[in-house]
Structure 1
Amino acid sequence: MKVQQISKLIKDTGLSPERLAVYFQVSNMTLRRWLKKPVGYKIPAQYETNLHQGVLTLVKNGMLPKENEIVLESYDFMQSLSTKNSFTMMDLTMEQFEKTSQDEEGTVDLCLKLGQKDESLAYVQQNEEKLREYEQKGSSIGEKVSTLWKVLNGSDVQRTNKYVAIGALFYLLFPFDFIPDAIPAVGFLDDIAVLGVAVDYYLKLKPFKG
């Protein structure tokens, strides 16, 4: 982000530098020092995340429209940051995600990799309420969530065969928790497609009956 963009934010929001500094989580002195720089001066990289988070908070508080050019830049930045965080925390690489977009086998492999982690099962169980919300909507995604939840909690499927269900539900829940509420939900793979592949996987198993 550059000084000219911060100046524009002050103009667009009507906030004083002191109040904007609070949103950016920097001192008033630091912000005023930036404003004295040439308009093309680029703010040091260590402040970048705080600046973009501040912009999205302004959106959330109704002080900036989502269509604002700076807001769109902040969306892109935070989406990219969230993606990197998601890969790191899931111990996956971009190449592994790209493979899943090519065929069902790749998607099953992804779910298996995610589902084998103890942290994934714990995360899914901790977010049971969110899964129930999906079920109550009665949509296609809700039906698939319901089926996979039955697999997860059923006694007729061996533990090792539950990994795909755990992984699919984890994929549904996990990535977007790290994206601020102001950002539209986005992902590398369509959630319904991932859930659908997981459900089909179990429909082919015996003695699973759905």
Structure 2
Amino acid sequence: MANYAIITDLNRCVGCLACTVACKAINGVPIGNFWIKTLRIGPHPTESGSGHFPDVEMYFLPIQCQHCENPECVHVCPTGASYIREDGTVQIDKSKCIGCQFCAMSCPYGVRYLNEEECVVEKCTLCEQKIAQGELPQCVSQCAARARFFGDLDQGVDNFEGPAAPSDPQAVGYDDMTSTRVKLKDYVEAYKQTDIHHLADAGNKPKFMYLLREPRKWRE
């Protein structure tokens, strides 16, 4: 048993879209659809700023299925196609999906879509094919800024893992680079519990987390 989730350090995220592209490539996401959308939040004035550069703030926010604790998409599915796996992830059994899109309409984050060719709904699976083999989700292993970390909520967010940034990329092979793990607490800038945020909770209890520290701290 596990309770998998991802935390993204927004003070490290540079909006490079590597997570979006890597996700599309490995999961065969159709053109025009996305399992991860990276939004730009801002720029907006700082609390004491003039509203003009450099007194403005901006960050990037990757949004995907939040693999909620109490997912409405599962409750409204008439066929049981949407379900919660034993590892805490929300999945879709395509053999049961009839393409009614009730789940897509009930999702507060708009992260589901209808694959018109197959007439089934799709979304982020948290790379179930990879985590079942002890690997990291592709969006985590390919994060260029090393901002995304994956782990078991039951083990505590401090122990979430991501790939280590090599000191000499030219001397390290790809397999070695992606298999070397670091823990969130040992790798990123210090954070407090109040720095951990979730997307708006509509009663679904989103599990994915976002680290966002005090304003401007990421630029100092």
TM-score per shorter chain, which class? under 0.3
Choose between structure 1 and 2: higher helix proportion. Answer: 1
Considering only CA atoms, is the larger Rg found in Structure 1 or Structure 2? Answer: 1
TM-score of the two chains, using structure 1 as the length reference: 0.23
Q: Considering Cα pairs closer than 8 Å and 6+ residues apart, tell me whether 1 or 2 has the greater RCO.
A: 2
